[in-house]
Structure 1
Amino acid sequence: MKVLKVIALLLDYPDEMVQTYGGELIDVIGGEHRLESGTRRQLVELVRRRQEADLMDVQAEYVGLFDRSRSLSLHLFEHVHGESRDRGQAMVDLQNVYREEGLEVSANELPDYVPLFLEFCSRLPEENAKAWLEEVWHLLQLLHGRLAERDSEYQWLFKGLIELGGLETADEQLQRQLRDEERDDTPEKLDEVWAEEPVTFGPTSGGCGGATTNQGQAVPVDWSALKRNSA
């Protein structure tokens, strides 16, 4: 699905690509009828706003949104494994899946980064891509819901992913939980994180944690179960 590449680009750190190729991106979005009409319209408007906006302003907004909040992390395993040892092995497993599909991950990239994951999905037959999106459905719901609570235009990118996977957005119970969540990107919360962050020297314990949800429940994702579908 070519539109997955478009969403990957729009979720990556902003650069000149959207301003340069905005017309082509709009064409892909406009022709993607697996998306609801309202979602297509919002995504087209997002691209147009990006084209007209000052790039440095867009970059500052992006950093303030995704880099200051663990609950909005664009690294999937941050939500699945947190900081446990399991995250490192999950990274290795996912990188091996990418490699089987011919997608090499550079040394400065983490395989669970959402835009990279979408690049991988875009190379697959539609049904296999949808199976991978379903595998991370609960994470897409969380990110969409949290961004919607912040009234961020990025919510529409995750809404689009949910629709492309043929999935459902958060139900009323999850929406209520998200409304009641305490934000982790306030100055006070950021100060607490800095104060609590342990200082370690030497090798880390794996560096790629086991994401617990904000409800405190670990949600395992069995990437190996879908390896046969990615070939």
Structure 2
Amino acid sequence: MRGQCSKTYPDAITSKMENMRSRRNLCGQVVHDLGCKILAGEWNPGDPLPQEVALCDTMGVSRTVIREAIKSLAAKGLVQSRAKRGTIVQPARSWNYLDPEVLDWQTQADDSGQLLFHLTEFRQAIEPAAAALAAERGSDEDLRKIETACQEMADNTDNLEAFLQADLKFHTEILHATANPFFSPVANVISVSLESSLRVTNRQATDNRTSIPPHQAVAKAICDRKPEQARAAMVALLGDAAARIQNAADSQ
């Protein structure tokens, strides 16, 4: 008996759709492999990638897949195709670090731990302003979500994974509560930063419990609609996190 898909589409169309899905999966894997190599420094900015034929042989895929993968990497700012020079790795300043995949590749390539400090600095520049805007503009529903996430953190101090998800939700809801869509992509940075930092600084339930009061201070200031208090509370929260990251790094 044929599957539901075959009942709906002619065999030729079904086969074509399956081929397209397979090609997308292959392309995604090639994008991942090449992206990791670039972020790991296997090819430096200004270096050309191997020619299409060589990449096809090395990765066992068709030229079509390689070309689609190169287009995806170019959209992320990692490479640029140039006439007579091939595909060139772009300077790091051109890379889209807010792209979830680029951020993931950089995390995998970071052996020094410097990425976590960079992420924390970025958060210190963005999140205090977001907290102030959330206090000014957040809807009642937005504030309820922030309070709920803060409570979920307090309820899950003994569970690192549940605590991490609640912590991420707390900071993400604050970004959404700004009513400014340009803050939302920062959630990718916060996700990586939180996961990396909590695994370094919050290895025991007591570590989680000590981070609850600073989060509660932020939540209260936002829900009381006091922008400057919310900003100051977020500065204090992130300052405490940065200090704990530094202490953990110094003790290694």
Considering the TM-score relative to the shorter chain, is it more than 0.5? no
Quick check: which one's helix share is greater? Answer: 2
Which structure: larger Rg? Answer: 2
Structure with the bigger RCO (C-alpha within 8 Å, sep 6+) is 1
**TM-score normalised by length of structure 1:** 0.27
